[in-house]
Structure 1
Amino acid sequence: MKWNHFKSKLLLKYTLSYISIFLIPLVILTIIIYHNAVNTLRSEIEQTNVNQLTQAKTVIDDRMKELQDIAFRIAYDEQLTRYWTHHPYYSRESIGALVKYKANSSIIDELFLFFRGDDSIYSSQGFENLDVFTGRYKFNTWNEADMVRDLNNVQFPTMRPAEQVVQGTKIQNSMLAYLVPIAPNNTPAHGTVMYLIHESNLTGLIDSILSDYHGMTYIFDNYGQVLAANYKGETITEEEVNALFALEPGTHSLSLNQEPHSVVSVKSEAGWTYVTAMPSNQFFSRIVHIRTFIILVFSFVVVMGTILAIMLARRQYHPISDLMEFIRLKNNPEPSTSSNELEWIKKTLHDYSQRVDLQEPYARNHILLMLLKHGHTGEFPSEFTEKLGIRFSRSHYFVVTMGWETHAFPIGDNPERRPVMQLMNDVELPEFSAYAYGVELPQPDQLALIVGFDAETGHEASLNARMEPIVEALQSMAAEHTGAAPAIGIGNRYSYPEQLNQSYIEASTALESSMLHGQGSSTFFNALSGSGTQDSSFWVPKDVLLKLVQSLKQGSYDVAVQMVSTALNNLKAEMPSVPLLRCICFDILNTMLKTASELGIHHVVHQLPRVTSYDSLEDLEKKLAGLAAEICAHVEAKSETEESSLMDEIVAYIDANFTDYDLSLGTISSKFTISSSYFSRSFKEKIGMNFTQYIWQKRMDEVIRLLLHTTDPLKDIITRVGYLDTPNFIRKFKKETGYTPGQYRKMHSPNGSADSSDDDEEECIG
């Protein structure tokens, strides 16, 4: 089953992060654009209202001037003098003239002419007594006495605010009275022209110019009195009306009747103030199309951005998903709900790092052992060996093997012996410009050291002299930390790491000689060659035969073939007689057959007729190489068989004794006489898990079996399988199964027993 992306909190976090990255600036930008559009439209509407209100003000002012012009013409009209109006015959012509003047203006409802001190008043409908006039036109606040006084005394044009007027028996109308004194030729005023104007005529002019305007309209005189107003259903307080009059010309934002309004104010030359107040929400009704367009664009961008964010998040998450799938295939437990994938990967990498740290010494030892046996590191590249700290940068190399007799240490696992390998894993000898890599050998109580040092190529004796103090320093170091001086064998030096297999064969041969002389002795391989005591130059050099024997014993085919070739090349150079040549060749063959017999490989004797029937030294070399290959192959096969058999024996021993709490890597290595690193490496190759994991799994299986089929207390069960740290075992058990042992017993116990499991568990933890 593949890793489920849809359950990933990390993927959700990535997605939300990408959405937030574009959504937050988009929201801010949209809000800015929206407010700019609203403010721009509001400014345009307000400016339009200003222009339209200014136009309405101009029209009304023109109408007021027209009324003043009519009064001026009346003052100079001969037909409208006191004489003509009072004449029984010409008074009809005066009435007709008033009818004509009334028709000149579209805003007046009625026109009246009054001569001061007179008791009559004239209109387009005729003349009537003042008492009759005041009885026919009843103003709400303008009584008869005030009306007569104003008609007789008004000195300049005066507009009375609109008020309710009852005309006879008709319904009330809101009307304005405009009084204009008439004084021809700059004489004192002798009369007054009064216009009655419907309030709607003035406000209607403003409404017609403002077209689709929906708001309140006010006209104030110089003193702040409302001459005319159109409330459009709204009502405001007197204080708010006074606030409107006090505004400077221009656009304003006020709260009227607890609602925001956009207010426009203009003033005329005559001192009148024109004010419109529009509820602000009407602006939003005018920008519905803008808001709808912005919402559609915003929604489209959000949808596309979300899709893009999901695609980017999945692309970002893809390598993490691959890592998760890789880790899951490695049989790692899935992450808990409280951790995300990065934390799980981090923990897994940490676990892998710990495993690598544990396996690194074994890998390092394995590579160095391959170099000693075969002269190469196999399939491991140089980059890998460098990461393990293996570098060959010196001019000369040789191998030192150390060995201790078994009785040199106490029986059992000596705690002082294990640090020797750790101590001599990397040895720096700066005083000799040398270093050494330690290699633990399969043979018990043996250690090999690959020594590299820098020295200019010179006389043989001087190079040997450089090697001796290095060997003494290494021997002293090993003796100091083990309490027993080792026997040492030293191979010849070489210039390339690929030749270390030969030096290892030589060192192993020299070690056998040193072991015969006892602990603390050291032997150089070149001292075994006996080159100075050889009776005849025709014999194969002793060191060549020694290396041939040792290479066959260790199954090192490359060195064995090289030794055979070296021996025969010397013979080719000397060109001995044929009988002597045969004797010398039989000496090489006898050495190989004797070694094979010691190794228990007896069947190669039957190949003696085939090997001895050769026609030339080249043919002999080929047959001896074939014989060496067969012996080395049998040695390798025998080693693998013995190793497999040994591992089978060890596994059987572990299966029978895994409940022993003293069971450890060291005790098993000591019991079966093998090195700890060799046992650890071979065990993992055979079983597929390391020794510690195997022991834990065996104990886990046994605990589960006892939990399900017995009612024994939990602490007794854990102690019985060889685990002394009970609380730690419970924690590890829960980490692996997801349940504590008590919970596991309750869930899986077939007989439903273990009622006291939780109590036992708490007691163990406590």
Structure 2
Amino acid sequence: MSAGSWDQIVTGLLEEGPDAASRIENRAGDFSIATVSSSSGDWRFVSAVGRAAHQAQVTEMRNTLMIFALGLAVAGVVVSFWFSWSTYSPIRMLQEFVAGRPAETEGRGSRPSVTSRYSEIEAILAGLNDAYRARDRLASAIERQRPLARAQLLTRLLQGIDEDVFLSLGPSAGFSFPYSHYFVFLIGLTARTNRSAWEREAVIQSLGELRGDGYFACGVEVHHREAIAVIANVAPTRSDRSAQRRIVSAAVSRLGEHHPSTPMVAIGLLHPGVRGITNSYVEAMAASEYTAGEGLPIQFFADITGPAARLPRLPLQLRLRLLQAVKEGQVDIAMDTLDDIVRSVAEVVESDQARAMYYRDLGTALREVAGKLGLDDQVAREPEPGDTREQLAALIRSLCRLVVIDRSSSADRLASHAVEFVERNYADAGLSLVLVADRFGTSLSHLSRVFKEQTGKTFSEYISDLRVERMMIMLRSTDLTVREIVLKVGYQDVPNCIRKFRQVVGVTPGKYRRGAALKTRSQ
């Protein structure tokens, strides 16, 4: 309130007397007037307050109260956080759980030390690091298993698999076939007794995957032959032959740096659908044997023409497909081919006696196949094939069953010999998959596959578990130091061995030994 305004009020009061206050109360707009009259005396108290000053005082008081309330709320949060921090440590327990250690139970009313409270951040970081390492180990394990899964799936495709099964398993193996048609071609490798496991694996991996305009192809070892079967997935074209030649040329070129000599190539027919892979594989195998007899560097199954020997009116393709299907144990393809032969013979041969001759000749050829496969003794127990389709079909089913059993037994024998070799030599620090593969003259991929099928574990997992098992026995039964035991089971890196032992058993070797000793004394 200005000095001039106050002077006007005082002057008005003096001039107009006691009733002046009520008349001039609203005369000035920048202040407010309050009056108090005496009931016993003739006097009146008058108070004038500037409106701007009054408003400023109210605002200041409101701000003060808000700041006080905010400070009180912050203080409450800080106290609550400190109280929770000092009495409860879930982060520490979470970190210990991730690290695989049970949290130590604290006594009732006990509180973590100042050091443990201030190490919660380190606990968070340690837990996150453990989680990331576990994720990396899992990803690494999956990646190591991927080649094995690919080889198993490709082998199953050659043996016969439903398309639905393939579509469900393909993504886990890391590939899928985008086109509708398939054919298989076989690349024969020059036999080399001095080829190491690494060299053999390099040859196989060079054809592991091929991509080009309009095709995708994957190669897998045919373990009972010195050959690689390549499954080619292509888009159908007007010139299937030229497309096949282009893919085969790309594969042979890729193989060149690992296999300098020119390989023999046998090519099956082009078929629609996944089920056609097995048919094309049998045709490629048949063309391969035909190529070996003719001395040709490349042979299309489609180019094999002419009559079968001793059966002048029977197409040679049908005979070769039937015999090769039996050699591969493919009973479905063999039976389908037998039906084709029966229809073909019925079209060109009129007499029952002549048809019986055809069937007997096929029976003789099938027994010759059994002899080459070393199945003479088993086939000798089978009845001689007669002159009817049913009798010939019974022999085909029997032979295919024997072939499958023999192939499975061969893989089982390899795996059993490999396991026996590992159990005898687990203490050798140089023991490896390469060493075992060289020992038995097979490829790394094939040995890995049959070893996993036989034991349920990978080669490295089996050795690691075996060595841990031997360590447990020595820790219970000997007084050797942990370091001496580690070296005796084939490890050179002691800390790494102790870490693996703890992952498998759950405790360190020292704790395991003390626990075993306590258990023995209690008994």
> Normalising to structure 1: TM-score of the pair?
0.49
Give yes or no for the alignment of 1:574 onto 2:348.
yes
Q: Superposed, which structure 2 residues align to 1:236-275 within 5 Å?
A: none
Post-superposition offset of 1:426:
0.9
Q: Which runs of 5+ in 1 are unaligned?
A: 1-56, 66-156, 158-219, 223-244, 255-260, 262-279, 281-323, 615-619, 753-766
Q: Which has the larger radius of gyration?
A: 1
Equivalent residue number for residue 254 of structure 2: 477
CA distance in 1, matches of 2:308, 2:405: 37
CA distance in 2, matches of 1:584, 1:666: 50
Deviations 1:499-541 (A, max 9, x none): 12121112223333555688x94333345x341x668986322
Give yes or no for the alignment of 1:583 onto 2:367.
no
Equivalent residue number for residue 633 of structure 1: 401
Equivalent in 401, 417, 420 of residue 203 of structure 2: 420
Greater strand content: 1
CA distance in 1, matches of 2:246, 2:308: 29
Deviations 1:413-443 (A, max 9, x none): 3x3332333331111244xx44321122233
Give yes or no for the alignment of 1:456 onto 2:237.
yes
Q: Which amino acid aligns with 1:380?
A: V
Give yes or no for the alignment of 1:62 onto 2:62.
no
Note the aligned Cα RMSD (angstroms).
4.1
Q: Superposed, which structure 2 residues align to 1:426-441 within 5 Å?
A: 426-430=209-213, 433-441=214-222
CA distance in 1, matches of 2:226, 2:378: 33
Give yes or no for the alignment of 1:401 onto 2:201.
no
Secondary structure of the 2:39 match is helix
The answer to whether the 8 Å contact 1:445/1:675 transfers is no
Give yes or no for the alignment of 1:380 onto 2:175.
no
Secondary structure of the 1:628 match is helix
The answer to whether the 8 Å contact 2:158/2:278 transfers is yes
The answer to whether the 8 Å contact 2:356/2:387 transfers is no
Secondary structure of the 1:482 match is coil
Equivalent residue number for residue 145 of structure 2: 359
The answer to whether the 8 Å contact 2:269/2:302 transfers is yes
The answer to whether the 8 Å contact 1:399/1:500 transfers is yes
The answer to whether the 8 Å contact 1:375/1:500 transfers is no
CA distance in 1, matches of 2:174, 2:141: 17
CA distance in 1, matches of 2:488, 2:471: 9
CA distance in 2, matches of 1:348, 1:395: 40
Deviations 1:637-663 (A, max 9, x none): 233333334323322221111112222
Secondary structure of the 1:452 match is strand
Secondary structure of the 2:498 match is helix
Secondary structure of the 1:472 match is helix
Deviates more, 1:366-375 or 1:592-601: 592-601
CA distance in 1, matches of 2:428, 2:439: 14
CA distance in 2, matches of 1:543, 1:333: 64
Secondary structure of the 1:540 match is strand
CA distance in 2, matches of 1:549, 1:346: 55
Post-superposition offset of 1:578:
2.5
Post-superposition offset of 1:629:
1.8
Give yes or no for the alignment of 1:674 onto 2:451.
no
Matched residues, percent identical? 24
The answer to whether the 8 Å contact 1:443/1:674 transfers is no
Deviations 1:675-698 (A, max 9, x none): 322322332233222211110111
Equivalent residue number for residue 732 of structure 1: 500
Equivalent residue number for residue 6 of structure 2: none
Deviations 1:232-253 (A, max 9, x none): xxxxxxxxxxxxx998899999
Secondary structure of the 2:247 match is helix
CA distance in 2, matches of 1:410, 1:734: 41
Greater helix content: 2
Change (3 A) 1:491 1:482: same
CA distance in 1, matches of 2:128, 2:256: 50
Equivalent residue number for residue 524 of structure 1: 300
Q: Which runs of 5+ in 2 are unaligned?
A: 1-34, 66-93, 104-122
Change (3 A) 1:686 1:334: farther
Q: Which amino acid aligns with 1:558?
A: D
Secondary structure of the 1:703 match is helix
Secondary structure of the 1:523 match is strand
Secondary structure of the 1:646 match is helix
The answer to whether the 8 Å contact 2:201/2:445 transfers is no
The answer to whether the 8 Å contact 1:506/1:525 transfers is yes
**Larger RCO, structures 1/2 (Cα 8 Å, 6+ apart):** 2
Change (3 A) 1:706 1:566: same
Equivalent residue number for residue 593 of structure 1: 367
CA distance in 2, matches of 1:572, 1:342: 75
CA distance in 1, matches of 2:367, 2:510: 67
The answer to whether the 8 Å contact 1:596/1:602 transfers is no
Q: Superposed, which structure 2 residues align to 1:141-156 within 5 Å?
A: none
